[in-house]
Structure 1
Amino acid sequence: MDALSRAVEDVRAQRGLDPRTAVFDVRVEPGPGGYVLVGEATDPAAVEELIARLAAFGAVTDRTVRLPAPGSPAEGFGLVSAAVAPLMPEPRISCTPSSQYVLGQRVEVLARRGPWLRVRGEDGYIGWLHQGYVCLCGEERARAWERGDGGEPVVSLGVELLGEDSAVLGWLPWGARLVREPDGRLRLPDGRAGMAGRGELVEVERLPARFPQDGESVVRTARRWAGTPYLWAGVTPAGADCSGYVQAVFRLHGVALPRDSDMQARMGVPVDPGPEFAALRPGDLLFFAENGERITHVALSLGGSRIIHSALAAGGVAEYDLNGRDEREVRLRECFRSARRVLPD
């Protein structure tokens, strides 16, 4: 690595620019009488710091695009208009998704590349969505949707959406947001509408009462996902990975968690699990590392040594006992690293 590339990596490392939550795709190229800094970045201060460092090597022309990129204010945001939209690490459908967003979630559009949108979700996670999954709009339109202007905002707990002839138009996953109009129709972000079939809807204003921030309530919600298959990057009962499952469950209870397990391991306060995990409360989070110390798995405590988690080894959401003798329980116990409490006392 040459000195110029090293300067880029040093700034990235020292400012903690995680590519999951920050864009710092910059490079230094030769230019007339010095160097040219090109690329894209979401942290203007990091760009300025890099320019200051590069000045030691010669004159620097800054051609870096600060994100969000300049564009139409009317299309600086988007609302997910499909039941589930895969978030990609690159602007192509053939790569492995990094997460999912569900119907009605708001995203900020950072940049565009053909039909692909580089977006930042409400959880700060950055990736690429195909524009076919998104209804573009301005910020005020997005906020109006969340307020439920013209109706009442509601959240799906796995409700069917029916057409005029009662044919099923689609299944809306847990956490999907809609607006219920005065005539009872459910309006989607792109203007389509239908009626509720089987399943359940909860008014947004009733969510705190229905899903309070206490451990026993969180456990009840988590158990309703029992049998959900394991799916890398998934966040719905149709398929979820460990951290997507935890994030989605806590989101219903008004607790915003980041997307990945290593990020979640920095939330809340540390908890001493006590002998044989006896001090853990329902709703505590447990973190595991398969190799070294980097957290790669998260589980939700049912109280004491009992946990529920979405595990590849179990094929999906299942309950384990960390004091158990099953081979998978023994292996998980060996990988335990820490516990955190994210719910209020």
Structure 2
Amino acid sequence: MKYKMLVIISLMILSTLYFGSDQKMESTKIGEVVENVKKTVELLRKEMKIDPRETVFVLNVKEESGKVVLEGKISDINVKEKILNEIQTRFLNVEIKVEQLPSKKLGEKICAVVAVPVLNLGEAPWKDQGKHVVTQARMGELLKLFDEKEGWYLVQMEDNYLGWVYGERIWICDEKELNKFLSNKFALITAKMTPAFASLDGVVAFDKQLVQGTLLPILEHDERWSKLLVPGGREIYVKSQDIKVFPTRDAAFSEKRDAQYIIEIAKQYLGLPYLWGGTTAYGFDCSGFTQFCFKMAGYFLRRDADMQFEQGIPIMDRKELKPGDLVFFQTYKPGPSHVGIYIGDMKYIHSGSNGVAINSFDPSAPDYSQSLDLRYIGARRILP
């Protein structure tokens, strides 16, 4: 009995020394715990392979009023639950102030649809031009809203990529409004570009043409003209020869096409200048080009070259390449940073510094690129 009392008293003394009489940690211990929590968060981030290009994961650990506080924002609820569970299990007195996105200030309006022909997604508010562009979206593409700042919205695209867009360029809606928008038949723009008209009198509706791959609800359709619905309610007219009609939006890219179809899509753009962050007929970067060509054929690729390198089946021997395989190169940074599409006969098509072009792995070919040949690091097969 005396022994048990001594143990209890000893634990009470240790608890007071470590946490203080009001359960707050002594300042000598706070720094150590803060560092341990930081290390744990970083280990979990690596373990879950969280990519900041696809998942908002902003966590800070600090001391506040004698306590260790974990604060920040996370967009994936499963990631948040795992992180918080691990932290609360390992560290009993860490205060959690982590916001689950979408931000509550957005209310029910957490959906959006691109309302301009081509939309730049930027790295931050007011930074969506030039090298600040992270990717692009076409009119009609769906967005998830996560946060808002000064009229700019942090959004996630259908390929999971994140970026900031200006609110006046998107139609913001709730799930009910979005579902109504999606309940129509849809038209897919199949021409490389096509003008959109505000009326049949020939008044152009936008400063840019609609680009191939654009999907919009179709309201009326005849042999010459089709009336389409712009996100937000506006109506436009396009030439019927430049579209293909589908019963639903999901049906547009549901059919899996072959390698030859992908290569034909790609060859349309030979000579098109390179565009940083580009994903449309106005200009592509390397991975934006491969992502687009495969999407038109019914296949989903992630946005960047290093992401695409993680997809499909590795092809170890270049002699085993087949048309439609993705070929990767290490260029301006370690790892896969450039990608193209193998088209057969030792040739590949890609969007590089000279625009969309065909080059060869064969040193005797006139279109041989020695610099890319030396930087080749492997291939991936996406097609079955």
TM-score (norm 1): 0.88
Match of residue 9 from structure 1: 42
What residue in structure 1 maps to residue 30 of structure 2?
Answer: none
Equivalent in 335, 341, 362 of residue 300 of structure 1: 341
User: What's the CA shift for 1:199?
Assistant: 6.9
Asked if 1:333 is matched to 2:333, the reply is: no
Question: 1 CA distance for matches of 2:368 and 2:63?
Answer: 54
- In the alignment, what sits opposite 1:169? 205
**Counterpart-to-counterpart distance in 1, 2:69 and 2:253:** 52
For the Cα contact (< 8 Å) 2:109–2:174, is it kept in 1? yes
Aligned residues: 335
Question: Take 1:4 and 1:47, find their aligned partners in 2: how far apart are those partners?
Answer: 15
Cα distance, 1:4 vs structure 2: 4.1
> Quick one: distance in 2 between partners of 1:292 and 1:112?
32
**Which of these residues, 361, 364, 382, is aligned with residue 322 of structure 1?**
361
Q: For each residue in 1:3-34, what CA deviation from the matched residue of structure 2 results, as whole angstroms up to 9, or x when unmatched?
A: 44333322222221110011111101222341
Distance 1:63 1:292, change over 3 A: closer
Question: Secondary structure at 1:263's aligned position in 2?
Answer: helix
Distance 2:82 2:231 in 1: 40
Task: Quote the Cα distance in structure 2 between the aligned partners of 1:114 and 1:292.
Answer: 34
Q: CA contact under 8 A between 2:306 and 2:337: conserved in structure 1?
A: yes
Distance verdict in 2 for CA 1:291–1:187, change over 3 Å: closer
Residue-by-residue CA offset, 1:221-266 (whole Å, 9 max, x unaligned): 1111112210110001111100001111111111111100111111
Tell me if 1:217 matches 2:258: no
Question: Which of 99, 115, 120 is the matching residue for 2:151?
Answer: 115
Q: 1: CA distance between counterparts of 2:83 and 2:236?
A: 52
| Alpha-carbon spacing, 1:208–1:81, altered in 2? closer, same or farther (3 Å) | closer
Is the aligned partner of 1:289 residue 2:330? yes
For residues 10 and 251 of structure 1, do their structure 2 counterparts lie closer, same or farther at Cα, with a shift above 3 Å needed?
A: same
Matched, 1:79 2:113: yes
- 8 Å CA contact 1:280–1:304 kept in 2: the answer is no
Taking a change above 3 Å as real, the CA distance of residues 89 and 177 of structure 1, as seen in their structure-2 partners, is same
1:154 to 2:187 alignment: yes
User: Could you list the runs of 5+ residues in structure 2 that have no partner in the other structure?
Assistant: 1-33
1:342 CA displacement: 0.9
With over 3 angstroms needed to count, the CA separation of the structure-2 counterparts of 1:145 and 1:324, relative to structure 1, is: farther
Distance 1:94 1:282 in 2: 35
Please list every run of at least 4 consecutive aligned residues from structure 1 whose deviation after the TM superposition is greater than 6 angstroms. Answer: none
CA RMSD of aligned residues (A): 2.6
TM-score of the superposed pair, with normalisation by structure 2: 0.80
Selected match of 2:137 from 82, 101, 112: 101
Q: How do 1:122-201 and structure 2 match up within 5 A? A: 122-148=158-184, 152-156=185-189, 157=191, 158-164=193-199, 165-170=201-206, 171-182=209-220, 184-197=226-239, 200-201=242-243
The counterpart of 2:303, out of the listed 255, 259, 264, is 259
Q: More deviation in 199-208 or 172-181?
A: 199-208
- Matched-pair contact (CA < 8 Å) for 1:155–1:201: yes
Q: 1:159 to 1:291 in 2, by over 3 A?
A: closer
Q: Which residue of 1 aligns with 2:62?
A: 29
Task: Work out the CA distance in 1 between the residues paired with 2:78 and 2:235.
Answer: 44
Contact 2:348 2:360 (C-alpha < 8 Å) held by counterparts: yes
Question: How many Å apart are 1:69 and its aligned residue?
Answer: 2.4
Deviation at 1:219, TM superposition (A): 0.7
Shift of 1:197: 4.4
**Aligned partners of 1:163, 1:90: CA distance in 2, in Å?**
32
**CA, structure 1 residues 55+281, in 2 after alignment: closer, same or farther (shift >3 Å)?**
closer
